[in-house]
Amino acid sequence: SKSTISRRTFCSEMNDIIELDAAKRLAAETAVDQYVTEDTKVLGIGSGSTIVFVVQRLAERVWKEGTLPELICVPSSFQARQLILDHNLTLGDLDRNYKIDVYIDGADEVDSSLVLIKGGGGCLMQEKIVASCAKTVVIVADYTKRSLRLGEQWCKGIPIEVAPIAHVPVKHKIEELFGGEAQLRIALKKAGPIVTDNGNFLLDWRFVAKREYDWDEVNKAISMIPGVLETGLFVNMAHKCYFGMANGTLKVQS
Ligand code: 5RP
């Protein structure tokens, strides 16, 4: 019957969520335990759902185990800032803590050379700024984010943060330069464009998945278009990525 099918669909979706959460948690907790030591003074905190598990593990280490006496956390977004405050961790900022020991963040897709697509949650600009201040950048993700080449997993495209006045010209310039389609990210129920923590708009550029792109070159070219504030392409930034796998194991890529 209809209700049995929908119950079955609901249960299978719930199982997927539980499995994904277990994978995210494993990646997050392993990264924290391997990279954050009692000598870590300043830690950059990324954004997204996997980062929630990072902050929970940090709070356990600080409050239950007492193993991180000096830790200062620098957020990459409003969400990260709230997480730090909610877990009663020490909040830092780039004015005082511009040298970061380790930055931990999630990603939307990671290719075999550790090129990342980020910004699914719209925080790419501050994420890239905070990551650029870190000695070591560690990525934590579930198995759905792992690709040989970009475009295998992430069909929503590469997020680009743009000044509101420039979203139409930037869209056309990206499409002329590199093909595909760049779409303005719209809020749910078409309530208007999504606005970032920095008051800007986002384009999601669906590139041509089958085309060979030099991501370093693409990133530099798009960054040069007037009105572009940051791209969600992170090239040569990540040092290591922990993937939680569906079968409960961990894959490490560096
Ligand atoms: C936010 C991001 C996130 O790190 C990325 O979207 C991954 O999020 P999640 O851990 O929820 O899958 O870049 O702008």
- What's the complex ipTM? 0.98
Place of tokens 């280490």: 61
Measure the CA–CA gap between 186 and 203, rounded to whole angstroms.
9
The ligand 1 atom at the shortest distance from the C-alpha of residue 119 is 14
In sequence order, the β-bridge partners of residue 234 are 116
User: Among all residues, which ones are annotated catalytic?
Assistant: 127
Site residues for ligand 1, CB cut-off 6 Å: 46-50, 105-108, 118-124, 127
Contact 99, 136 (CB under 8 A): no
| Residue 149 CA, ligand 1 centroid: distance in Å | 18
Q: Supply φ then ψ for residue 79, to 5 degrees.
A: -60, -45
Contact 137, 238 (CB under 8 A): yes
Question: CB count, 10 Å around CB of 79?
Answer: 20
Measure the CA–CA gap between 114 and 104, rounded to whole angstroms.
14
The ligand 1 atom at the shortest distance from the C-alpha of residue 51 is 10
Q: What is the pTM of this model?
A: 0.92
Measure the CA–CA gap between 161 and 120, rounded to whole angstroms.
11
| Residue 133 CA, ligand 1 centroid: distance in Å | 19
Question: In one letter, which amino acid is 122?
Answer: G
Tens digit of each residue's pLDDT, the chain (254 residues)? 556 666 666 556 667 777 899 999 999 999 999 999 999 999 999 999 999 999 999 999 999 998 998 899 999 999 999 999 999 999 999 999 999 999 999 999 999 999 999 999 999 999 999 999 999 999 999 999 999 999 987 568 999 999 999 999 999 999 999 999 999 999 987 789 999 999 999 999 999 988 999 999 999 999 999 999 999 999 999 999 999 999 999 999 99
